[in-house]
Amino acid sequence: MDGGFLNDVAVSNIYGRITEDVLAIPAKSRQFSPLVPGSVSLDEQEPASLDTITVLAPAATVERRAVLALALRALRPGAPYTMLAPKDKGGSRLGADLRAFGCGFDEVGRRHHRVCTGIRPAALTGIEEAIAMGASRWIEAIGAWSRPGVFSWDRLDPGSALLTHHLPGLAGRGADLGCGIGVLARAVLASPKVSEITLIDVDRRAVEATRRNVEDPRAVFRWGDVRRDGAGLTGLDFVVMNPPFHDGGTEDRSLGQGFIERAAQALRPGGRCWLTANRHLPYEGVLKPLFRTVQPVADAAGYKVISAQK
Ligand SMILES: C[S@@+](CC[C@H](N)C(=O)[O-])C[C@H]1O[C@@H](n2cnc3c(N)ncnc32)[C@H](O)[C@@H]1O
């Protein structure tokens, strides 16, 4: 069934990038997604303070339940909500999640999404548990603070591990583009010759974790999109990165390309980019026109490390 009436829903608080074909969003909406730099944090939103919210729920189960629970906690009892997700990325389980929290709702299909609309009940069940499951915590296996939703949140990514293994002692000023929880920057900062490193990520949760994980006066933290907000980075001696190649769960190679272009702009002549990636990603072709030399450094277990000199 197609929920045509949904175009009339007044949306003033939203979580996630919802496209117009799925739901009409008022131009002046307040964004709560941690993936939108400058957005407000649902974690910090006063309980029962919002009059409405529309959530494009994440696909991963623990993260999705935590986001739905945070959104319901932030709503005042009696306030309307719209929760939606693509059918194959959590949408088929959205109704069960909401029912478990004690919510009644109408559910429709729209443009490959499941869309649930309802009123926040006075009493909710199980939301504190769901919020706790999605909260920040110390992960012993990686010796770092992390939380569900950030990249490789509870294990060391094999590509990042390969890069840290092959990284020489770096020197001077540099950047960790798409820093995640700070795994690469921590390895870089082991070198006393590093004077400064800028860590930038589009995910507020990653930047928050990284601030706790990288307690070093040489580290500068930025919550932003590398492609847009990395423009001030110039004259760097080095860049390290494990570029993202998924946007909203879909493979998007242009993201990695944008990261490589930003690295090339940020480096001084002679500066070096250290990059790790899944072996199948054809970054060499993107690097070659932008860098003087492009050297394979390591190739193991489906991952590769490349060093490119500007
Ligand atoms: C493959 S992960 C690598 C994380 C970390 N460097 C590591 O090695 O564990 C890529 C990171 O890039 C971030 N990211 C994705 N798109 C971005 C963008 N446009 N600007 C900045 N960061 C972005 C993701 O949030 C993620 O933390």
Token pair of 64, please?
């999705």
What CATH superfamily classification does 4-133 receive? Answer: Vaccinia Virus protein VP39 (3.40.50.150)
Is the full-model pTM beyond 0.85?
A: yes
d(CA 28, CA 275) in angstroms, rounded, equals: 38
Q: Which numbered atom of ligand 1 lies nearest the CA of 178?
A: 12
Which ranges in the chain are annotated with CATH 3.40.50.150? 4-133, 138-309
d(CA 309, CA 270) in angstroms, rounded, equals: 6
Among 183, 184, 203, 228, name the best residue to mutate to test ligand 1's pocket (greatest count of ligand atoms within 8 A of Cβ): 203
Distance 302 CA to ligand 1 centre (A): 19
d(CA 201, CA 221) in angstroms, rounded, equals: 9
Residues sharing a CB contact under 8 Å with residue 11, sequence separation 6 or more, in sequence order:
23, 24, 25, 26, 29, 52, 54, 82
Task: Kindly state if the Cβ of 211 falls inside 6 Å of ligand 1.
Answer: no
Among 156, 166, 179, name the best residue to mutate to test ligand 1's pocket (greatest count of ligand atoms within 8 A of Cβ): 179
Task: Kindly state if the Cβ of 206 falls inside 6 Å of ligand 1.
Answer: yes
Task: Kindly state if the Cβ of 227 falls inside 6 Å of ligand 1.
Answer: yes
d(CA 209, CA 147) in angstroms, rounded, equals: 8
DSSP reduced 3-state for 174: strand
Residues sharing a CB contact under 8 Å with residue 22, sequence separation 6 or more, in sequence order:
84, 110, 111, 113, 115
DSSP reduced 3-state for 301: coil
Q: What CATH number was assigned to the domain covering residues 138-309?
A: 3.40.50.150
Task: Kindly state if the Cβ of 45 falls inside 6 Å of ligand 1.
Answer: no
Distance 74 CA to ligand 1 centre (A): 28
Residues sharing a CB contact under 8 Å with residue 43, sequence separation 6 or more, in sequence order:
70, 135
Task: Kindly state if the Cβ of 245 falls inside 6 Å of ligand 1.
Answer: no
> Tens-of-pLDDT digits for all 310 residues of the chain?
334 444 445 558 999 999 888 988 887 889 999 999 999 999 999 999 999 999 999 999 999 999 999 999 999 999 999 999 999 999 999 999 999 999 999 999 999 999 999 999 999 999 999 999 999 999 999 999 999 999 999 999 999 999 999 999 999 999 999 999 999 999 999 999 999 999 999 999 999 999 999 999 999 999 999 998 877 899 999 999 999 987 666 667 789 999 999 999 999 999 999 999 999 999 999 999 999 999 999 999 999 999 999 9
Residues sharing a CB contact under 8 Å with residue 239, sequence separation 6 or more, in sequence order:
174, 175, 176, 177, 263, 266, 267, 271, 272, 273, 274
